[in-house]
A and B are shown apart, each in its own frame.
Chain A
């Protein structure tokens, strides 16, 4: 009964380091999303995918890249981490687009020093 699983749950990076956040869903959903949550800002969409092999930019895409090589996985990459990317990152998936309820992972707390 996993749903949406995010790896890792916590990470501390130094400025300039790179890393990849992994999101995996076992519900056969077509749509997947990456958000960041900052205090007082709500959730802001970084990138999203409407199916395997597709990606698109959201509201705050700068400094991030994504890939969707397999339907069940959606990877979020930080090529050169910056302190401004300190945030809680959430992955979500839905079956038929944003008008269906999204299922969220538990989040990844990322700190950039």
Chain B
């Protein structure tokens, strides 16, 4: 069975601070995919990134970066110089090739204050 743990439930930062959202996953499969989704206050779910288990390269997209470490089963998300528009709930999720299901963590509510 798969499991995703987002131990942080709520984070509050002041604009321009850097913030890291933690994600720890569990699976016995050797081929799997990790995702981050954003849910802004308007409620829709927005796909941010996908990573497969064979690609441990970190990824950077503008102010967003992701650190994938198989040794610690973690896929952490860092926002640099946070902005008010980053305020949202962020979900980490895991899927394995063996089935067609996506397992979500419980989400982290990020509040960025002006």
Which residues of A line the B interface, CB within 8 A? 31, 33, 35, 40-45, 48, 50, 56, 58, 88, 90, 92, 97-104, 106-107
16 A/B residue pairs, CB under 8 Å, sorted by A? A40-B9, A40-B106, A42-B6, A42-B91, A45-B102, A45-B103, A48-B100, A88-B43, A90-B45, A98-B95, A98-B100, A99-B33, A99-B96, A100-B50, A102-B102, A106-B43
Number of residue pairs A-B, CB distance < 8 angstroms: 55
Interface size on B, residues (CB 8 A): 23
CA distance A43 to B38 in the complex (A): 12
At the interface, yes or no: B75 with Cβ under 8 Å from chain A?
A: no
Q: Are A33 and B102 in contact (CB under 8 A)?
A: yes
Q: Are A106 and B97 in contact (CB under 8 A)?
A: no
CA distance A107 to B102 in the complex (A): 17
Given contacts A41-B106, A98-B95, contact A107 B44 (CB under 8 A): yes
8 Å CB contacts to A: which residues of B23-77? 33, 35, 43-45, 47, 50, 52
CA distance A106 to B91 in the complex (A): 16
CA distance A27 to B91 in the complex (A): 24
CA distance A42 to B44 in the complex (A): 14
